[in-house]
Chain A
Amino acid sequence: QIVLTQSPAIMSASLGERVTMTCTASSSVSSSYLHWYQQKPGSSPKLWIYSTSNLASGVPARFSGSGSGTSYSLTISSMEAEDAATYYCHQYHRSFTFGSGTKLEIK
């Protein structure tokens, strides 16, 4: 099965700062099948970005996703307080796997 490695595991950003986190796959993943979720403490994960670059309903435009093959990223153009959360990447290629998550904190 494909292993997804997210980096960094933990990061902190100042309000207004540009943030980028990455998701690296052990083998090539179709960009259609690479997705991101946001999870806040005590809540279920929420679909955030689907098929690499499409924002889920209600996700602010400051978020974007990109990538192909084995390398994918999630970017926040200008950090806001409500963006503090853990972000997980997720892929489907014969089976489903999640990355280990990037915890984003406010500096």
Chain B
Amino acid sequence: QVQLKESGPGLVAPSQSLSITCTVSGFSLTDYGVSWIRQPPGKGLEWLGVIWGGGSTYYNSALKSRLSISKDNSKSQVFLKMNSLQTDDTAMYYCAKHDGAPYYFDYWGQGTTLTVSS
């Protein structure tokens, strides 16, 4: 069955960089896109960016300069990197699988919590 699982550092100091990994199973990263979405505590969902099956990427314009998404198809892993972290980057970070042209997210990971604090 389809599964996605995020893993990350948990705690990062302000101004530092973040790297989170999404490990997927049950589908091929060459066939489907994967997005990153975050949710600050008690707040709503914010889309960060997507990497499509062919490897092209697209980012939230407000965060584009700080984000990088890549993947390793052979390891079924998608990577999110974000630099210049601030306290308002504290959030739950999710990866989610797209289901083709309507582009909805049909499967989500459990999320990984990131706290930005000194």
Contacts and interface: CB of A to CB of B under 8 A. Distances in A.
A1 B99 CA distance: 22
Nearest to B108: A44
Contacts, number: 55
A74 to B, nearest CB: 14
Contacts of A99: 44
Describe B's contact surface by its main secondary structure.
loop
B68 interface: no
Contacts of A56: 106
Contact of B103 (A92, A100, A101): A92
Interface residues of A, number: 22
10 contacts: A37-B105, A44-B109, A44-B111, A45-B105, A47-B104, A88-B44, A92-B103, A96-B35, A98-B46, A99-B44
